[in-house]
Structure 1
Amino acid sequence: GSKDSVFAVRYMTPLIHCSTFDGCPLSLTDAFNRAFRALKEERPGHEFTVRENLSFICFSLHERYAHEIDLGETGLDPDSRRIQIMLEYIHQHYCENLDLTQIARSADIGNRECLRCFKRSIQNSPMQYLLKYRTTQGAALLLQDPGSSVSEIAAMCGFNSASNFSQMFKRFFKCTPREYRREHGR
């Protein structure tokens, strides 16, 4: 659903902002495996199975952290707030020619603090995150828009050339964009 849906407002947003939810071992592997299998097999109605199992996982996590959420411990630490702002900025502007300074400015911090914040929070640099995000968006577009060429999709995702896109794609997906489209397309 959307960010304004009852699921987001009542369950997901409080869980995401819960300070004790920063990391937790996932003991719900059966539900995750059922969702993954359904997604992989793509039988008729598989979307219902995926949604049912992911909803079960989300609700179980919400129940597990309900006490902390009810206590109002949803304040984000400074790094989490900054990362949230910078990731949102990247997600909104990934197709543009972004640099480190623009990403850092979105959270009102300097370049060095931006690098440290990313390293502490997601163990990756902002530019590496941006490349991976662009590439995953490109993968989605390859399947959603089969009429567009690899060059067109590369440009839509902020890559300056199809070869650069293909190189990053192979790095993250272990195949070329064309192979990915052929294997996963319908």
Structure 2
Amino acid sequence: MGEPRMPKKIRNATSEHRLADWYEKSGLARFCETMEFRAKGTVEMSDVSNKRLHGTVPAATGILIVNSRGFGHYRRNLGYGWEEGRQNGTVTLVLPANCDWDVAFEHHTRSLSLDPAQLETQMHVRAERLAAAFERLSNHCFTKNFVNSLMKEMWHNSAEETGWLGELFCDSASLALVAYLLREELRSDQQAKRGGLAPHQMRMLIEFMSSRLSNKLRISELAGIAGLSEYHFIRAFQRETGITPYQYVLRMRVNKASELLRQQPYISIDEIALLCGFGLASALAQQFRRLMGMSPRAYRDRL
């Protein structure tokens, strides 16, 4: 397969535009079909369509919020193991620095770049507190219609010649968007305190499970990492994720199997089953088909 073509259309980008510079330095621009950049007030936005993204997302100048719509499967690594899943609709992410990102489907993305110093002034929040809040935000995926509608309205407004009113709208809307996401993250954290798991507990659990997928994982080990009894751990884990620890581990094993199928074409499916903790290829095939909609062999043949 040849190198991806450069975008057919790049509009309104200048060398001073943070988002345009970010796309160019990351190497992601070559995967994009169309790109358009706009700025209004202190807010910068981009509108990008592409068939595939792959690579390490570099540190952005400012805070980068991504609103992506598409169909297919995606992977991301926030520093504690690959997450893989299917996307059908719209998801909003706050990307941290150096996030590995692999999107294997045609999709459409609107991104928003904000100046942290400007946010500190407008929100009357200290830099350290704001940075910590956005680090927590990067652990979440939001599927809220409000975010989608607000970013859509900001994008259309940025093209209108409305003078200071347009700038006021974009600046105010960006503050509302940030406040909304931070409030949703706070609610999630409060939910954890009421019986779920806190983000740091989930991070430690995912690290532990990722490093031992080929072995048998015991509930007692996972509960010990979370600092809970087995009974309370199972309840808290299910409340946090919506599924049982057993189901979560199965998904992680299938995700690892799909990664090996992509990256190691000469490893047999029997070997992959052993490496991912399934033991038998038939057990891998059963769970892989249930979660990915096809057999491991069919998945490899499509690559």
TM-score, normalization by structure 1: 0.64
Please state how far the C-alpha of 1:24 moved relative to its aligned partner: 5.1
- Number of equivalenced pairs: 150
Q: Distance in 2 between matches of 1:28 and 1:106?
A: 37
Task: Classify 1:164/1:66 alpha carbon distance in 2 versus 1 (closer, same or farther; 3 Å).
Answer: same
Please state how far the C-alpha of 1:61 moved relative to its aligned partner: 9.1
Q: Is 1:119 matched with 2:232?
A: no
Tell me the alpha carbon deviations over residues 129-152 of structure 1, each in whole angstroms, 9 at most, x when there is no partner: 000110011011101110000011
1:179 equivalent in structure 2: 298
**Structure 2 residue matching 1:136: 3-state secondary structure:** helix
1:99 equivalent in structure 2: 218
Please state how far the C-alpha of 1:22 moved relative to its aligned partner: 8.0
What letter is aligned with 1:142?
A: L
Structure 2 runs not aligned, ≥5 long? 1-56, 58-77, 80-95, 100-130, 152-172
Please state how far the C-alpha of 1:7 moved relative to its aligned partner: 5.7
Contact 1:96 1:158 survives alignment (8 Å): yes
Please state how far the C-alpha of 1:65 moved relative to its aligned partner: 2.6
Q: Which of 136, 145, 155 is the matching residue for 1:14?
A: 136
2:197 equivalent in structure 1: 80
Task: Classify 1:159/1:80 alpha carbon distance in 2 versus 1 (closer, same or farther; 3 Å).
Answer: same
Q: Distance in 2 between matches of 1:142 and 1:62?
A: 43
Contact 1:12 1:62 survives alignment (8 Å): no
**Structure 2 residue matching 1:148: 3-state secondary structure:** coil
Contact 1:14 1:74 survives alignment (8 Å): no
Identical-residue share of aligned pairs (%): 23
2:178 equivalent in structure 1: 65
Q: Per residue, is there more helix in 1 or in 2?
A: 1
Please state how far the C-alpha of 1:154 moved relative to its aligned partner: 1.1
2:272 equivalent in structure 1: 153
Tell me the alpha carbon deviations over residues 34-72 of structure 1, each in whole angstroms, 9 at most, x when there is no partner: xxxxxxxxxxxxxxxxxxxxxxxxxx9998235875xxx
Please state how far the C-alpha of 1:158 moved relative to its aligned partner: 1.5
Q: Distance in 1 between matches of 2:97 and 2:230?
A: 37
Q: Per residue, is there more strand in 1 or in 2?
A: 2
**Structure 2 residue matching 1:129: 3-state secondary structure:** helix
Please state how far the C-alpha of 1:177 moved relative to its aligned partner: 0.6
Q: Distance in 1 between matches of 2:291 and 2:181?
A: 36
Greater relative contact order (Cα < 8 A, sep 6+): 1
TM-score, normalization by structure 2: 0.41
Q: Which of 20, 25, 32 is the matching residue for 2:144?
A: 25
1:54 equivalent in structure 2: none
Q: Indicate the structure (1 or 2) with the bigger Cα radius of gyration.
A: 2
Q: Distance in 2 between matches of 1:88 and 1:62?
A: 34
What letter is aligned with 1:126?
A: P
Let me know the Cα RMSD of the aligned residues.
3.7
Task: Classify 1:159/1:28 alpha carbon distance in 2 versus 1 (closer, same or farther; 3 Å).
Answer: same
